[in-house]
């Protein structure tokens, strides 16, 4: 089994002007997932009603499972389901 590298992100590593891959809301906090390098994704959060995103962590998406250790199981599951749904929609449209 391969070691999974999870690292902290800095605000300069994510371009918040670009559209995210997916967004999800859990318990009043909005999360967004942006592309990273390879299978890496950048995960950021903000409280509802605010404008500024704060980088949280970098995770790994393998096409079916999201691995991001610093996120709660509920958040990790919500983001993984959103990523799976987006992938399915892209495949239906032939975008992938």
What would the 3-class secondary structure string for 4-72 be?
A: CCCCCCCHHHCCCCCCCCEEEEECCEEEEEEECCCCEEEEEEEECCCCCCEEEEEEEECCCCEECCCCC
Q: What pLDDT score does 12 carry?
A: 60
What pTM, to 2 d.p., does this model score? 0.80
Q: Which of 2-11, 28-37, 48-57 has the lowest mean pLDDT?
A: 2-11
Q: What pLDDT score does 14 carry?
A: 83
Between residues 22 and 8, the one the model is more confident about: 22
């Amino acid at each position: 089994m391969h070691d999974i590298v999870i690292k902290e992100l800095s605000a300069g590593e994510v371009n918040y002007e670009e559209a995210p891959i997916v967004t999800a809301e859990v318990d009043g906090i909005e999360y967004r997932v942006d592309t990273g390098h390879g299978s890496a994704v950048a995960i950021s959060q903000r409280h509802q009603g605010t404008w500024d995103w704060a980088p949280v962590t970098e995770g790994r998406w393998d096409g079916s499972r999201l691995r991001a250790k610093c996120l709660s199981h509920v958040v990790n599951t919500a983001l993984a389901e959103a990523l799976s749904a987006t992938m399915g929609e892209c495949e239906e449209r032939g975008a992938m």
